[in-house]
Structure 1
Amino acid sequence: MNTRHATVLLASVLLAAAMILAGCQKPDPKIEQAAKAAKQEQAAAVEAKNFDTAYGQKNWEMAAAYGEIVTSRFAGTPSADRIRPLYEEARTKAKAEREQRRVESLWSYMSTPVKLAKGKSGTQLSASIYAKVNVETDGSIPRPVQLIFRDHPDWGRSSYLVLQVGDFNCYGGCKLKVSIDGKARTMAGSRPKTDEAIAMFVEDERGLWRMLKDAKELSIEFPVKAGGTRTATFEVGGLKQEKLPGWK
């Protein structure tokens, strides 16, 4: 074997050895970690962009959803750190929106055609809500108590409570303890002499209506024939006062 052939063979062996050694060599942990972090940030940036879009549109529910993905799945990435305070804001606003939808759903509104004197017709408007907790009013099991605001073309405006069972002890008039978000005052009540419904009027209906503006909770304490008083509490924060425009 001449010198040239030997040199070529040695070079080939050395190259093969180098390739074998290269294949067996462990990767640099720092390089591997940096590559993993870059991959995480790339994926986080995609979701963060979706978050930015929803946040810019004030779509708090969607922004909160994307923010949850970025801050939990890609925690520690620059994108997660950047949006975290905005995500907290979006989550708070999304929660408030859900709560507002819930309290709005507690109210029912009706527009009912009614016959008036001399063959005329009109429309009765009403807004009603049930107490958030049933109330025992006759010594038996607790039952729903309803608060109604009614605007009748003949009878005018009125506000009243309706029971399913039992009765109010208010036929000759009574005093009601009315609380708005914890602030109490006294209002007059009266039980009409009728069997059509177990109802008791809150005499200052316009005053009661105005008290509900920006209020969250209304409680009315009333006397009952079963003895003593009972309290019905209503979550009134979802009232849409424009539904009864004549009450302003």
Structure 2
Amino acid sequence: MKLFPLAAILLLSMLLLAACKDREAEAAAQAAALAAANEQAAAEAERAFEAAVADGNWALAKAQGDLLLAKWPTTEAADRVRPRHEEARAKGDAENEARRAAALWAYQTQPVAGGRQLSAAIYAKDPLDVDGSGAKPVRLIFRDHPDWGRSSYLVLPAGDFAKACYGSCRVTVTVDDAEPRRMAANRPKTDEAIAMFIDDEKTLWRLTKDAKLLRIEFPTRDVGNRVAEFEVAGLERGKMPGWD
């Protein structure tokens, strides 16, 4: 058995050590390049975040901040943006909620004899089973007609309101966490729509101001009382001039 000379062993050791150092240096260089690329990408996202903040576009600022903190959370840009991101998130969420609430309302202007009819309508937050046949959408409508005047009423897609309401009955109206109030209502004798007027439209309209949720409990012909919940915060009050 031959033994390697000491010099050969030392040379081999030096070569192996050099190879290890080269790999470590290469890995370090790759890590540094990746970190630099991440910092550059994060800095671009930070600039987009700052531009959105400057424009007051909080929904976009929230989105840019979300992206930056999700993809490059350990960068210097993330450290700079993080303290302001919560403000952007809160304001962005508020903007998104305001748009969602506004989109719940539908407005119509129709030419009629004597002028034009205006209306603002919204569907209940959740469909209701009003006749035992399954849940269906319920609407609340505010209407301004040149001959019939102003009115507020509920519309059912099926079934009917309680028989007593053809004369006069009462509904229970609750705004957010306020105390419930009883309000007079009546079901007109017509086949044009399954509608019931809430007599004091002025008060009902006033109750929607600064409100988030309007609940109306009403009696049905087939399944007893039901409660319709309307998310009224997005009502564009200027669409119904003269009501406030």
Question: Is 1:176–2:171 an aligned residue pair?
Answer: yes
Q: Which residue of 1 aligns with 2:10?
A: none
CA distance in 1, matches of 2:33, 2:130: 70
Tell me the equivalent position of 2:66. Answer: 68
C-alpha RMSD of the superposition: 2.4
2:131 partner SS: coil
**What 5-or-longer segments of structure 1 have no aligned partner?**
1-19, 116-120
The size of the alignment, in residue pairs, is 224
SS at match of 2:69: helix
| In structure 1, distance between residues paired with 2:78 and 2:131 | 58
Q: Distance in 1 between matches of 2:37 and 2:228?
A: 58
Match of 1:98 among 96, 99, 122: 96
Distance 2:189 2:68 in 1: 64
TM-score, length of structure 1 as denominator length: 0.82
Q: Could you say which residue in structure 2 is the equivalent of 1:221?
A: 217
- Percent of pairs with identical residues: 53
The residue that corresponds to 2:11 in the other structure is none
Aligned-partner residue type, residue 214 of structure 1: D
5 Å matches for 1:93-242?
A: 93-115=91-113, 121-169=114-162, 170-183=165-178, 184-242=180-238
**For residues 8-56 of structure 1, what are the alpha-carbon distances to aligned partners after superposition, in whole Å with 9 as ceiling and x for unaligned?**
xxxxxxxxxxxx9997543569975666544433332222112111111
Per-residue deviation, residues 60-87 of structure 1 (Å, max 9, x unmatched): 2322222123212221222101101222
Letter of the aligned partner of 2:147 in structure 1? D
Of 51, 54, 57 in structure 1, the residue corresponding to residue 52 of structure 2 is 54
Greater Cα radius of gyration, structure 1 or 2? 1
Q: Secondary structure at the match of 1:219?
A: strand
**TM-score of the two chains, using structure 2 as the length reference:** 0.83
1:74-102 CA-to-partner distances (Å, cap 9, x unmatched) read 21222101101222222222222222211
Unmatched 5+ residue regions in structure 2?
A: 1-14
- CA-to-aligned-CA distance 1:110-150 (integer Å, 9 cap, x gap): 000001xxxxx301100011112111222222222111100
Q: Helix, strand or coil: the match of 2:66?
A: helix
Q: Structure 2 counterpart of 1:127, which letter?
A: A
Give the aligned residue type for 2:183.
M
Q: Which residue of 2 aligns with 1:40?
A: 38
Residue type at the aligned position of 2:151: S
